[in-house]
Each structure stands twice: as structure tokens, then as C-alpha cells.
Structure 1
Amino acid sequence: MKRLKFAALSTTLLLAAGTVQAGSTFDAVKERGYVQCGVNSGLPGFALADSKGVWKGIDIDMCRSIAAMMFGDAEKFKATPLTSQQRFTALQSGEVDVLTRNSTATMIRDTTLGLMSTGINYYDSQGVLVKKSLGVKSAAELDGAAVCVLQGTTTELNLADWFRAHKLEFKPVVIETSEGGFRTFEAGRCDVVTSDKSQLASLRASSATPDDYIILPENFSKEPLGPMVRQGDDEWFMVARWALNAWIEAEEYGITSENVDEMLKSNNPNVQRILGVSGDMAKGLGLDAKWAYNIVKQIGNYGQSFERNIGQGSPLKLERGLNALWTDGGLMYGWPLR
């Protein structure tokens, strides 16, 4: 009994220590002077470093929003490129402060990894990319196909579920990165490649011959993608959550990087609260009253980031679809800043 009690006490102390460590992120980031974000190792439109080492993409803008919120400077961040196998371990270990990498929010990830999603910045679905020369119009025609699939992802599970449900066979060709998988696919080592449709569109756009490929119409799954942080760290969780919500709210109220200074004079109480003109929204976050103003001024609102990185103003030319504002028939719905 004594040994059991001692073991229980030790477990309690370990959990308490873990909570204290997890809860120190906000202060650690402030002291360090920049936000360390885990990002995709290279996905055009979402996270990609150019020839000068400058990172760009909608997931990078999410990271920059947190930096602007914390320091008033969107450039006070560092990006750590992570593969799908590395991403969760890097966040768990404290190597990164937040995962602003295309990662699907699921129950298992929220309940078994010691991590949690802070919201959704892109609603996606899983599909398959094929060469037009294959002559396939539907995934139902892929019985016996060799499929390139990322290891250690929900993509693997969704692929198996879909083929099993449709009583089809497939041969998995396991890959470690999206870019490597696309090269494997181009080389003919697999017949098709499966991933989130946004990733497939990104890979196709970066190809030398994008018109040679099509994304089939079937949706294998729901893929709500968004930032993740460690559990037991409420203060830091709130920062990541409200950075995203301010981004979306700014678009809904028509606040852009171009007109944000003029909008400081707005009589709309919602706009006044978002931009820190009235109310005391920042007090509970421990930040400057202009935290949301800094996000919009330096990065723009959600719609602006979407447009330049993955929308019609980008090589990907993705439609807003589910990622349109709720007022436009989409799912993007910012929580009220009040």
C-alpha cells in the first residue's frame, strides 16, 4: 500500500511539474523575443522559404499574426520546418511554441498527444491526384492502384477506410514528405498520390507541367486544419486562439491592412473593440490594446492572406469554398471580440 501511495504521489508530482512547464510558454516567448513556429518543410501557398530564405504562406501568416500580437512586430518569429513524422514530437518537447503547420484536428490528437487544436484556419478534404494520361475520372476506378501516401498521418487511415468501404484494393507506397511523394509519383513509382486537396493543388501548381494532372472529385474525409499548442498552457492557448479569431473578425468587419488606420475612427463598437479603441479586450491576454490592430496592419485580414497565398491572386487559385466567411456561405466564423 505504501508503494502504491508513493507511486500515486510521484505521478501527481510529475503531472504537476509537466503542467508548470507547459504553462510557461507565454513568458518564455516574451523573454526570448520571438515566436518559434513549427511549419511544413515546404508547401507552396502554406509554408515555403524562397531563394533568400524568406518564409511565405497562409500558415506562415498565422505564425506572423501571433508574433504581431505578442511583440507588435510580425517579423519576430522563426520557422522550424517539420515533416509529418516530426511535427507532434517537436511541439511536445518544446522545440517549437506552436504548430502552424497544416495539421488535422482530431479527437485522438486532442486526447492522447498532450496537444490541442486552437481553431481552424483552413477547411480541407482528402483526395487523389492522377495524371490525365491515366484516363481516370473517378477514384472508384482505382482498384489495385499503387498510391503514394504520407506516413504517420490521418491520410493513411482515411485512404484505407475509403478503399475498404468501396471494396477496392490498393498498394500503399509510403512517403515521408509531400514533395518527395510527388517526385515519386512523377517518376511512375505510384499511380496516384493522395493528400489534402489543398496540398495536391499546391504540388500541381509547383510542377513544370501542371496541366498534366487532375484532382479527382471524391472527398475521402474532412480535414479541419489549424494551429496546435501543448495542453496545460491556457495563457498561450488563448493567444493562438484569439490571433486566429481577430484575423477572421477583421475580414467580416471590412478591416484591411490598407484601411485599418482610417477604421480607427469608425463608430462601429465592434470595430472599436477589435482595434483597441474602446473596451479593455487585451487585459485578459496580458497584451497591448493594439494587438489586433498590429495583426491587420502588418499582415492583413484572413481574406487578404487567403487571396495572396492560395486564392485567385496566387498560382494555386483555390476557391474560398468552405473557407469563405459564414456571411458568404462558408464556415469561417470569428468569435466575438467583446
Structure 2
Amino acid sequence: MNKFASALAVSAAMIFVQTSASQAEEGTSTLQTVKDRGNVSCVIGNSFPGFYSLNKEGEWQGMDIDMCRGVAAAVFGDAGKVNFLPVQWAQSFTTIKSGKGDILSKGMTWTLSRDVSQGLDFLDTYFYDGQGFMVRKDLGVTSVKELKGATVCVLTGTSSELNLADYSRTHGLDLKTVVFDDSAVRNTAFFNDNCDALTNDKSGLAAQRSAAPNPADYVVLPETISKEALSFAVKQNDSEWANVVKWTFQAMVAAEEYGITSENVDDMRANSESPIIRRILGVEGDLHVGLGLPQDWAYQVIKNVGNYGEIYERNVGPDSILGLDREGTLNALWQDGGLMYAKSFR
């Protein structure tokens, strides 16, 4: 009996240890996992020029790429400590939920169903967009309303597919969808005249048009049929990691508001007498403590990646491949009539 009791006690102890270890592993925050791993794992798509695409040197570039590099700079003081995971649209959510990715940053629209049913927490909108249509110029179409009965190439499982169905039904257009699960295949089908039109966010259409064999042969129609708030997301119910990601973005916007750039940030840090700027750059205060980051985290973000305006201009601005003017759009700062508005650094 004593031997039996002792065996039971040992067995119970082993179960307790295994359970505790499992619970500890499950309870480990993403921030700690990232620190232990030594890099940020960023989930992106295969190619969306201006947002995520490979340059001639085989390096990732774009707005989404810079957002992830900013988080790496905040955590490690090194924007290069990030691993990019390009996945197909259908794998976007599961890659985050499974823990293989830390941030989803791939031109994803923030919707109610994605927010509540995909195991994600959407954090901030970094680009305000809207869905449109592109057609061949020789089709002679000047409005979506002239596309009645037309075939439209669209990526399956996206908000674009749902918006297209709603718009067609509302306006009695009887549009025929041709769905694809790979954006590159969709684009090729359109440029090979397998569809009358291609629908996507207008920033995406600008990117796809720029990559066309003859961009001048295509035109983006004037209608915008939806509101698309492109946002990044993290695994649900991990507020510590969510705080790091969203305040990294807020630091980018705040830097632009207060005139801090990657070029002048050292001077600002050394000489600014503004208490707000000094708090942002970690010269004074202890805002970093609640984030679990170094005191100079926001300085590192701005120094390594830049403020929001710098990121916008080099990736999607007038002199970029997309040529998108920011003035007068929702992506302008709030004082310029837009919706970009930094939260308070207090």
C-alpha cells in the first residue's frame, strides 16, 4: 500500500509539473517569445508593389514592410531583426492564430467578421483606401455602371469579392465574378483578357497597372464602391504585444506631427525643449516601462524607419511606383484634413 501510494504521489507530481510547464508555455506573451527568438515574424502576401514586394536585390520593401521593421526597431533597436512570411490569402489568419506569425501586415481590410471570428485583434489603420475597377482603355467604358453583365476578376475570400456582389445586386449590374486564390494568377488572367474588369482596392489597382505590360492601355474607373481601412492585426487577447505594435505606429504618426524625421531625430533628441518631444524620444519620463521596451524605443523607430510621412512618400507617394498624392486624402494628418491622428504620449 505504501509503495502504491508513493507511486501515485510521484505520478501526480509529474502530471502537475507537466501541466504547469504547459500552462507557463501557453501563458508566455508574444513579446517575450519575440525577445527570446531574436526577431519579429511578420506575415505578408506575395507581392503588392508599394506595400510589400521584392526589389532587384531580393529585399522586401513597402509600407507593410516598414511597419514591421518599425516594430523590430522598437523591440531590438534594429529594424533588420524581422523575418517576413509571405503567405496566400487563405493562410493569413491561421498563420497568426497558430503563433507562426507575430503581426499580420498585408493590406488587410479591418472588418467586423474578421475582428470577431478569426482570432485576431485589429489595432490601427495605416492606410485608408476604397475599392475600384480597372478596365482596358479600348473597352471604351467610363463608368462601372456601363459594365452590366461583364466578367470581373477578383480574389476569393476577400472583402472585395463581397463588396462586388453587394454593388452588383444594388445596381442591377449582373456582374459575373471570376475568382482566384492567387493575386498573381488573377492579374495575369486580367491582362490576358480573360476578364472584362479587375476589382481591388484602388491602391492595389495602381500597383497592378504599374506592373502591366503596357500600363497606358488600362484605366481605373472613377467610382469608389467601399471604404477599406487597411490595418495590421495580432493574435487575439495578447494586450502586451498589441500595445507594442500599436504604439510603434503611433510613434510614427506623432513624429510627423511634431516634425521629427529620421534625419533630424538626433538633433531633436539632444536639443528639443518640448516636453512632448522629449517624452516621445525617451529623454525624460518612463513611458517605456508599461510597454516592456527600452527607454529609447520610439527614437529607434524614427531613426531606423522614419515617421509616417517619410514611409508614405517613399513607398506609395507621388515619386513612387504608385504615384499616390496624399494631399486632400484621408491619409493626410488630421491638421491637413485627413484621419491620421497620433494618440497622446503621456
TM-score computed with the length of structure 1 as normaliser: 0.93
CA contact (8 A) 1:37 1:97 kept: yes
Q: 1:260 to 1:97 in 2, by over 3 A?
A: same
- SS in structure 2 at match of 1:322: coil
The match for 2:263 among 258, 273, 276 is 258
Amino acid of the residue matched to residue 227 of structure 1? F
Q: 1:97 to 1:186 in 2, by over 3 A?
A: same
Distance 2:141 2:342 in 1: 40
Residue 22 of structure 1: CA displacement? 6.9
The match for 2:65 among 38, 49, 60 is 60
Give 1:82-93 correspondences, 5 Å limit.
82-93=87-98
Residue 18 of structure 1: CA displacement? 9.3
Distance 2:108 2:321 in 1: 22
Q: 1:23 to 1:117 in 2, by over 3 A?
A: farther
Distance 1:177 1:337 in 2: 41
Distance 2:255 2:312 in 1: 13
Q: 1:18 to 1:224 in 2, by over 3 A?
A: farther
Q: Between Structure 1 and Structure 2, how many residues are aligned? A: 323
Residue 313 of structure 1: CA displacement? 2.1
The match for 2:137 among 129, 132, 135 is 132
Higher mean C-alpha deviation, range 204-213 or range 163-172: 204-213
Residue 19 of structure 1: CA displacement? 11
- SS in structure 1 at match of 2:198: strand
- SS in structure 2 at match of 1:246: helix
1:192-248 Cα deviation digits (max 9, x unpaired): 000111111111112231111111111111110111001111100101110111111
Residue 239 of structure 2 is matched in structure 1 by 234
- SS in structure 2 at match of 1:194: strand
Q: What percent identity do the matched residue pairs reach?
A: 48
The match for 2:35 among 14, 30, 39 is 30
CA contact (8 A) 1:155 1:194 kept: yes
Is 2:334 aligned against 1:329? no
1:154-189 Cα deviation digits (max 9, x unpaired): 111100001111011011110123222111001111
* Structure 2 gap segments, 5+ residues each: 1-21
Residue 75 of structure 1 is matched in structure 2 by 80
- SS in structure 1 at match of 2:302: helix
CA contact (8 A) 1:150 1:181 kept: yes
Residue 278 of structure 1 is matched in structure 2 by 284
Distance 1:54 1:324 in 2: 28
Residue 274 of structure 2 is matched in structure 1 by 268
Is 2:253 aligned against 1:248? yes
CA RMSD of aligned residues (A): 1.6
1:6-38 Cα deviation digits (max 9, x unpaired): xxxxxxxxxxx8997375211110000000000
Residue 83 of structure 1: CA displacement? 1.8
Distance 2:319 2:288 in 1: 33
Q: 1:196 to 1:281 in 2, by over 3 A?
A: same
Residue 317 of structure 2 is matched in structure 1 by 311
Residue 315 of structure 1: CA displacement? 1.6
- SS in structure 1 at match of 2:166: helix
Give structure 1 regions of 4+ aligned residues with deviation exceeding 4 angstroms.
17-20
Is 2:346 aligned against 1:301? no
Give 1:106-117 correspondences, 5 Å limit.
106-117=111-122
Residue 17 of structure 2 is matched in structure 1 by none
Residue 106 of structure 1: CA displacement? 1.0
1:269-322 Cα deviation digits (max 9, x unpaired): 111111011111101001111101001101110100100010012021102111
Residue 46 of structure 2 is matched in structure 1 by 41
Distance 1:22 1:220 in 2: 43
Give 1:108-187 correspondences, 5 Å limit.
108-187=113-192
Q: 1:79 to 1:314 in 2, by over 3 A?
A: same
The match for 1:208 among 213, 218, 235 is 213
- SS in structure 2 at match of 1:323: coil
1:24-79 Cα deviation digits (max 9, x unpaired): 21111000000000012111110011233210000000000000001000000010
- SS in structure 1 at match of 2:124: coil
- SS in structure 2 at match of 1:219: coil
Distance 2:222 2:332 in 1: 20
TM-score computed with the length of structure 2 as normaliser: 0.91
Distance 1:160 1:19 in 2: 46
* Structure 1 gap segments, 5+ residues each: 1-16
Is 2:56 aligned against 1:51? yes
